[in-house]
Structure 1
Amino acid sequence: MTHLLRSERFPAILLLGAAALGLLVANLPFGGSVIDFSHAHLAIPGTPIDLSLAHWVSDGLLAIFFFGVAVELQYELTTGELSTVRRALQPAIAAAGGVIVPVLVYLAIAGHDPATRDGWPIPTATDIAFALGVLAVFGRGLPSPVRIFLLALAIIDDIVGIVFIAVLFAHDMNLGLLAIGVVLVVVFAVLSRIDPDGRGARIAVVVLMIVTAVLSWAFVLLSGVHATIAGVLLGLAMQQSPGMRARHVLEPWINGLILPLFAFAAALVVIPQVSPSRLSPALWAILIALPVGKIVGIALFGWVGMRLRPRGTAPTVAFPDLLAAGALGGIGFTVSLLLANLAFADNAVIRDQAILGVLGGSMIALVLCAVLVSMRARHHRRLAASSSAIGPTAP
Structure 2
Amino acid sequence: MAAPTPTPSSRRTFLGRLSLPERNYLADALRTETVGGVILLVAAVAALIWANAFGSSYAAVSEFHFGPASLGLDLSVEHWAADGLLAIFFFVAGVELKRELVAGELRDPKAAALPVIAALCGMAVPAVVYTAEVLIGGGSTDGWAVPTATDIAFALAVLAVIGTSLPNALRAFLLTLAVVDDLFAILIIAVFFTEKINFMALIGAFVGLVVFYLLQRAKVRGWYVYVPLAVVIWGLMYNSGIHATIAGVAMGLMLRCTRQDGETHSPGERIEHLVRPLSAGVAVPLFALFSAGVSLSGGALANVFTRPETLGVVLGLVVGKTIGIFGGTWLATRFTKAELNKDLAWADVFAIASLAGIGFTVSLLIGELAFVGDADTINEIKSAVLIGSLTAALFSGTLLKLRVRKYRMLHEAEELDEDQDGVPDVYEQGDPEYHLRMAAIHEKKAAEHRRLARLAGAASSKPDSPA
| Range into which the TM-score falls when normalised by the shorter chain | 0.7 to 0.9
| Letter matched to residue 238 of structure 2 | L
Equivalent in 123, 130, 146 of residue 99 of structure 1:
123
Which position in structure 1 is the counterpart of 2:271? 246
Distance 2:291 2:313 in 1: 16
Which position in structure 1 is the counterpart of 2:184? 160
| Letter matched to residue 216 of structure 1 | I
Q: What secondary structure, in the 3-state scheme, does the structure 1 residue paired with 2:71 have?
A: coil
Deviations 1:78-130 (A, max 9, x none): 11011111111111222122112111111122246786311010100001222
The Cα of 1:216 is off from its aligned counterpart by 0.7
Q: Against the structure 1 CA distance between its residues 132 and 87, is the aligned structure 2 distance closer, same or farther, given a 3 Å change threshold? A: farther
- CA contact 1:116–1:350 (8 Å) conserved in 2: no
Equivalent in 15, 22, 25 of residue 47 of structure 2:
22
Percentage identity across paired residues of the two chains: 41
Distance 1:116 1:365 in 2: 24
| Letter matched to residue 16 of structure 1 | L
CA RMSD of aligned residues (A): 2.7
Is structure 2 residue 163 aligned with structure 1 residue 146? no
Q: What secondary structure, in the 3-state scheme, does the structure 2 residue paired with 1:379 have?
A: helix
- CA contact 2:355–2:393 (8 Å) conserved in 1: yes
Deviations 1:6-38 (A, max 9, x none): 53432212101111111111111x312321321
Deviations 1:31-85 (A, max 9, x none): 1232132112213153222211110111011101111111111101111011111
Distance 1:91 1:280 in 2: 33
Equivalent in 346, 360, 369 of residue 333 of structure 1:
360
Equivalent in 323, 346, 352 of residue 319 of structure 1:
346
- CA contact 1:58–1:338 (8 Å) conserved in 2: yes
- CA contact 1:6–1:255 (8 Å) conserved in 2: no
Which position in structure 2 is the counterpart of 1:199? none
5+ residue gaps, structure 2: 1-27, 258-265, 417-428, 430-467
Q: What secondary structure, in the 3-state scheme, does the structure 1 residue paired with 2:286 have?
A: helix
The higher radius of gyration belongs to 2
- CA contact 2:48–2:294 (8 Å) conserved in 1: yes
- CA contact 1:126–1:331 (8 Å) conserved in 2: yes
Equivalent in 217, 220, 223 of residue 234 of structure 2:
217
| Letter matched to residue 281 of structure 1 | P
| Letter matched to residue 72 of structure 1 | E
**What are the equivalent positions in structure 2 for 1:275-290 lying under 5 Å apart?**
276=302, 280-290=307-317
Say which is worse superposed, 328-337 or 238-247, in terms of deviation: 238-247
Is structure 2 residue 196 aligned with structure 1 residue 172? yes
**What are the equivalent positions in structure 2 for 1:177-192 lying under 5 Å apart?**
177-192=201-216
- CA contact 1:280–1:353 (8 Å) conserved in 2: no
Deviations 1:339-368 (A, max 9, x none): 111111121111110001111111111111
Which position in structure 1 is the counterpart of 2:289? 264
5+ residue gaps, structure 1: 197-201
Distance 1:260 1:141 in 2: 24
Is structure 2 residue 149 aligned with structure 1 residue 130? no
Say which is worse superposed, 316-325 or 262-271, in terms of deviation: 316-325
Q: Against the structure 1 CA distance between its residues 33 and 381, is the aligned structure 2 distance closer, same or farther, given a 3 Å change threshold? A: closer
Distance 2:239 2:376 in 1: 27
Say which is worse superposed, 335-344 or 88-97, in terms of deviation: 88-97
Is structure 2 residue 136 aligned with structure 1 residue 117? no
Is structure 2 residue 373 aligned with structure 1 residue 346? yes
- CA contact 2:150–2:178 (8 Å) conserved in 1: yes
Deviations 1:273-322 (A, max 9, x none): 42736853222111221011111111112110111123xx5226742122
Is structure 2 residue 390 aligned with structure 1 residue 360? no
Deviations 1:169-199 (A, max 9, x none): 1121122321220121111121123335xxx
The Cα of 1:251 is off from its aligned counterpart by 2.2
Distance 1:18 1:114 in 2: 35
Is structure 2 residue 264 aligned with structure 1 residue 237? no
| Letter matched to residue 281 of structure 2 | G
Distance 1:115 1:384 in 2: 46
Which position in structure 1 is the counterpart of 2:465? none
Distance 1:65 1:207 in 2: 20
Say which is worse superposed, 111-120 or 325-334, in terms of deviation: 111-120
- CA contact 1:23–1:269 (8 Å) conserved in 2: yes
Equivalent in 78, 87, 95 of residue 63 of structure 1:
87
The Cα of 1:140 is off from its aligned counterpart by 4.9
The Cα of 1:239 is off from its aligned counterpart by 2.6
Say which is worse superposed, 257-266 or 89-98, in terms of deviation: 89-98
Distance 1:353 1:69 in 2: 28
